[in-house]
Structure 1
């Protein structure tokens, strides 16, 4: 049986990742595999390449043929040089720089925010700035002398309580009202 070491595609439409598998050469790309020996994620920077070196050396030793893409991955990880006996078995694999913890970045941002002055935290609208400037720097008041007119005050006598006579209507008795209504009804 002829075996191949190739990539099995996994993942979504635009975010692929691959498993490095050993499979029968007559099987489909994503068909049944004999063994999974690594994985490859090209969507990240730098790409993730993980290979189980012992299993890769075993399968290369028993005659499994790697595809061109898998051979390139083996050259980067150093497995191909180790199999062929070439110098450079350490490979040229780049490692991602470790990212600082998010909690440290958050604490640094909070500390920086505490050190900033409070006055310039927000900007005011233009009209509000003009009002504040007017209150802080009042315009100088210039006195202009104008001719004054003499005021004439006329004396007005206010009515007192003795001048006002209260008109109180005479009391109306109910008998007068009854008589008036009977007369109106008779007519």
Structure 2
């Protein structure tokens, strides 16, 4: 039986990934395979190429023929050079830089947000700024008390409190005085009947 090492397409439309499989050469592209020996994801930068080197060497040794695409992948990973006995068995595979964990990035952002001043984060309207300024700089209470205390002493020294009360009582008219000034109108019997 003649075997081939080829790519089996998987994935959605416009986002393919491939399995590197060993299959009978007479089977369909995505038909039943004998063994899966790797995978290839071209949609990422750099492309992901994973090959089980031991199994690839076995199948190449027993006569499986790789397709052109799989041969190119084997050259990048170094498996083709190893099979042919050529120098450069380490391959030219590029590795993606590891991304920092999302939890570490989140914790750093929270820490940075906690360090920022809270007052400068948003702008306020003028009235709100004035209220905030008034709360921040209240009028000193001790100055107001000091000014009022000497004036109260001066008033008590000039006139006694009893004299002030007497003058106020004399100037106000009483209710009995008002009644005495206005004469009562006589009520006639005609007005009472109506």
State the TM-score, normalized to the length of structure 2: 0.65
Once the two structures are TM-superposed, the CA of residue 20 in structure 1 deviates from its matched residue by 0.2
Match of 2:24 in 1: 24
Moved more, 93-102 or 158-167: 158-167
Structure 1 residues 30, 167: closer, same or farther in 2, change over 3 A? Answer: farther
SS of equivalent to 2:20: strand
1:144 & 1:13 partners in 2: Cα distance? 97
Distance of 1:133 and 1:19 partners within structure 2:
69
Other structure's SS at 1:151 match: helix
Aligned length: 175
Alpha-carbon distance change, 167 to 133 in structure 1, aligned in 2, over 3 angstroms:
closer
Instruction: Give 1 or 2: higher helix fraction.
Output: 2
After superposition, the Cα gap between the structure-2 partners of 1:162 and 1:185, relative to the gap in structure 1 and judged at 3 Å, is closer
Shift of 1:8: 0.2
Structure 1 unaligned spans of 5+: 172-180
What is the distance in 1 between the residues matched to 2:94 and 2:60? 24
Q: SS in structure 1 opposite 2:60?
A: helix
The separation in 2 between residues aligned to 1:102 and 1:81, in whole angstroms, is 39
Q: Distance in 1 between matches of 2:74 and 2:99?
A: 27
Seen in structure 2, the aligned counterparts of structure 1 residues 80 and 126 have a Cα distance that, compared at 3 Å, is: farther
Shift of 1:24: 1.1
Q: Secondary structure at the match of 2:183?
A: coil
1:13 Cα deviation after fit: 1.0
Cα RMSD (Å): 7.6
Q: How far 1:118 sits from its partner (Å)?
A: 1.0
Moved more, 27-36 or 114-123: 114-123
From 135, 151, 154, the counterpart of 2:165: 154
Q: Structure 1's 136 and 185: CA in aligned 2 closer, same or farther, altered over 3 A?
A: closer
Which secondary structure does the structure 2 equivalent of 1:17 belong to?
strand
Structure 1's 183 and 108: CA in aligned 2 closer, same or farther, altered over 3 A? closer
Q: 1:95 to 1:165 in 2, by over 3 A?
A: same
Q: Secondary structure at the match of 2:36?
A: strand
Separation of aligned partners in 1, 2:159 and 2:16 = 94
Kindly tell me: are residues 122 and 18 of structure 1, through their superposed partners in 2, closer, same or farther at Cα, counting changes over 3 Å? Answer: same
Cα 1:128–1:19 change in 2 (3 A) is: same
